[in-house]
Copies of this chain bind each other. A is one copy, B any other.
């Protein structure tokens, strides 16, 4: 066969990069578990009607078809029978909650770290397969507002331990914007939201122009919408700025109260983490209250790496209602950006800390025994692939960044272990030898740990 080439939009990492992702995921997961979130995994597919239930992302779905299915059968299938790959983890989670409601304890805190797929057009250069790490809380009937500030704090804590640039989470509230537009007498708030959401891409002048031309606002209405979107504060003072715009509406009051509560609590618990930014709208149609969106410092143009919000109506069935709130870390996007910028490195390309040399092929069992003794004490160890001359076995370790090579002794005699970086070599017993703590596992570093 011909040498295969990468598929655009389906990123794959090299071994060293994969070790970095693994450590990122371990750290994220550990933080989620420390906060009492329980793991859940949903199947990769949902019935198409589930995926299309909340509008906008429908155009990005990948449909599945069995290669051997009769073509006519597949073409005629109803949306409920057709399967598509999930495009996020929130829609499947809402479905999971409804399906298993009788077996779950509410409020239900879950984390979910999985791949999602979006059938983007190839030329857009965006990921079509990527991993997200989500936390959500859902409750029955009503969900306390304190989760709206708890979740971004947990996400930020998960990221704070990673060698990545700072992330500031911008937050707003859908009720606030929608109430404000209603108070201005605007008939189609969602249309306004969609245009305001482009503020940082097209700039204030074009936002006003589009609001007038495309949605039919008066110039005064359009300017008021822009003024609202330009409000951004590090604390709850945004509320005064909104009030000064002189718009009145009960839904606006509700949104102001919710966002103020979130900002007040977050300022106390995690100063500087949340920024009230009324330009934030979020594309997904299912959000109903608080919304979040964050970029990495120095990578603002590359887009959102953390996002989420409150969805009060996503999981509903008959009289059962499970409002939720959640936040999602775009793991693949963060890694793709940092790998692309060359700012992450790892101390070795394999888990092994030690390579045990093989004296002669017929004495491989002695090397296997040394390796087994080291592994029993948690030291990752590889045995040399062949009883080549020692120089070649050392090169095998060196090329992978394995720091130690172990030379088994003659039967009955102790072996020796060599730090191939310093050249230091000493007699050692595999039942007791310990590498320095910093050599045990591959070490991930950012180019600028202060970043």
Least Cβ distance of A137 to chain B in Å?
A: 8
Interface size class of A (residues with CB under 8 A): 35 or more
Produce 1/0 per residue, A31-45, CB < 8 A to B: 001111111111111
Instruction: Check if A381 sits within 8 Å of B10, measured CB to CB.
Output: no
Instruction: Check if A63 sits within 8 Å of B61, measured CB to CB.
Output: no
Instruction: Check if B385 sits within 8 Å of A43, measured CB to CB.
Output: no
Instruction: Check if A62 sits within 8 Å of B67, measured CB to CB.
Output: yes
Query: Which A residues from 157 to 192 make CB contacts under 8 A with B?
Result: none
Instruction: Check if A33 sits within 8 Å of B64, measured CB to CB.
Output: no
**B residues less than 8 Å from A99 (CB atoms):** 3-6
Instruction: Check if B64 sits within 8 Å of A349, measured CB to CB.
Output: no
Contact flag A381-B35 (CB < 8 Å), given A66-B119, A110-B15: yes
A443 interface residue (CB < 8 Å to B): no
Least Cβ distance of A437 to chain B in Å?
A: 17
Instruction: Check if A45 sits within 8 Å of B129, measured CB to CB.
Output: yes
Instruction: Check if B109 sits within 8 Å of A85, measured CB to CB.
Output: no
Contact flag A350-B67 (CB < 8 Å), given A18-B41, A318-B3, A385-B139: no
Least Cβ distance of A189 to chain B in Å?
A: 24
**B residues less than 8 Å from A83 (CB atoms):** 7
Least Cβ distance of A290 to chain B in Å?
A: 17
Contact flag A117-B44 (CB < 8 Å), given A15-B38, A38-B19, A269-B365: yes
Contact flag A104-B352 (CB < 8 Å), given A1-B53, A44-B117: no
Smallest CB-CB separation from A42: which chain B residue? B12
Instruction: Check if A85 sits within 8 Å of B104, measured CB to CB.
Output: no
Instruction: Check if B38 sits within 8 Å of A67, measured CB to CB.
Output: no
Contact flag A64-B67 (CB < 8 Å), given A34-B378, A380-B36, A386-B144: no
Smallest CB-CB separation from A402: which chain B residue? B36
Smallest CB-CB separation from A269: which chain B residue? B368
A84 interface residue (CB < 8 Å to B): yes
A282 interface residue (CB < 8 Å to B): no
**B residues less than 8 Å from A269 (CB atoms):** 365, 368
Most buried by B among A19, A65, A364, A381: A65
Contact flag A316-B350 (CB < 8 Å), given A117-B44, A380-B33, A382-B109: no
Q: Of the candidates B18, B61, B98, which one forms a contact with A3 in the assembled complex, judged by CB atoms under 8 Å apart?
A: B98
Smallest CB-CB separation from A59: which chain B residue? B68
Smallest CB-CB separation from A377: which chain B residue? B34
Smallest CB-CB separation from A372: which chain B residue? B269
Instruction: Check if B67 sits within 8 Å of A39, measured CB to CB.
Output: no
A336 interface residue (CB < 8 Å to B): no
Contact flag A62-B64 (CB < 8 Å), given A33-B380, A39-B19, A99-B4: yes
Q: Of the candidates B320, B351, B385, B386, which one forms a contact with A38 in the assembled complex, judged by CB atoms under 8 Å apart?
A: B351
Query: Which A residues from 380 to 414 make CB contacts under 8 A with B?
Result: 380-382, 385-386, 396, 399-400
Instruction: Check if B365 sits within 8 Å of A268, measured CB to CB.
Output: yes
**B residues less than 8 Å from A104 (CB atoms):** 14-15
A-B contact pairs, 29 of them (CB 8 A): A1-B53, A3-B318, A4-B50, A7-B83, A10-B43, A12-B43, A13-B40, A13-B41, A15-B38, A15-B39, A18-B40, A18-B41, A34-B351, A34-B375, A35-B371, A35-B381, A36-B351, A37-B351, A38-B350, A38-B351, A59-B68, A61-B67, A64-B85, A105-B396, A105-B399, A107-B385, A144-B386, A265-B365, A269-B368
Further pairs besides A34-B351, A67-B119: 4, Cβ < 8 Å? A6-B99, A7-B47, A18-B40, A34-B381
